[in-house]
Structure 1
Amino acid sequence: MRFHGRVEGAARACDEPGCDQPGEFRAPGEGRANDFEGPRPYRWFCLDHVRAFNARYNFFAGMSPDEIHDAQRPFAGWERETRAFTGTGGADRPPRWADFTDPLDAISTRFRRATAGEAARKDGKPLSESERRALKVLDLPADTDRRGLRQRYAELVRKYHPDRNGGDRSFEKKLQDVIAAYTQLKGAPAFA
């Protein structure tokens, strides 16, 4: 009979004191935290002892009633503010284990490209490459706010619109580019 979760071929003994059966089923180890450096250690049990462990396991053990209530809310954790990606152009900082050999230079290229002289916004909101191109079309700096974006758009529409140029349609392509750039930027998170 095959059991879900069985890890065969491991030469571990059951972690239950006094048991000489092979430990083929893993269970959470002591402590709660999984951190970036890896998962918490597991305990390994035989089938009978993992069943007993599962029957007495209580995720909320050691928590106060308020902590249990907070953990069970449907939106628990969403109210916390996320960190701003300042100075990295939207890329995360390299992890601590990033000192391994990278013969194709695949990982470090991402961080060099993200920080290679691109002006960061003062509010920390990242801009994608296409959003930066749209700002260049409108001839605006990266740190423009929503109001400055609207003002520049209105100015350029008045400048390039055929009704303002005596019916001259030679600026039609520029007008389309301005409208496309504004449409993209007004929906961008940096200008929300």
Structure 2
Amino acid sequence: MASDGKRQTRFHGRVEGRQKDCAHPGCDQAGEFRAPAAGGRRPGSDGPGDWRWFCLDHVRAFNDSYNYFQGMSPDEIESAQAPYGGWERQTRAFSMNGAPPPKWSDFTDPLDAIGARFRKAPRARSDGRELSEQDRKSLHALGLGTDADRRALRQRYAALLRRYHPDHNGGDRGHEKALQAVIEAYTQLKSRPAFA
């Protein structure tokens, strides 16, 4: 009972609205809390197990006297208590690719931290000039590495124009999308500071 005389209704595990009575002999209150049935099937991979339903007072008494290991052999108890249950075989170590792991405290979501740990860091240019993500995509579209200079950029652009442009490849218009991607990539890169 709550201190103001009203019944407390918020308890973890309560299933309100059950019409069946408490499983304790002689109790006429509603059985709103489940407990494992004595000698019944335990919860596991084959289902949720067998349950009995108690009122709040009797489920508390049941919990005080409950022993999960009752009826188990010493070997079964040891197996259930093993700290590495299910990890009997060795697994390979995850590669760090030479990079230190990120600090977990830098992330609010653990999945972001795990993703960052195994994401490859973009390779920096040898001359120290910055490349944006768009610069990297444009270089990839042209088939160039991150260390390409302005001369390599122009040479590659000219070679791809000869390959894809209909005036240079015998009138073949089957490469128009590739030609458009090459032109867009070159236009984006030629004005960037890394290629000045």
Q: TM-score, normalised by structure 2?
A: 0.41
Larger Rg: 2
Larger RCO of the pair (alpha carbons < 8 Å, separation 6+): 1
Q: TM-score, normalised by structure 1?
A: 0.42
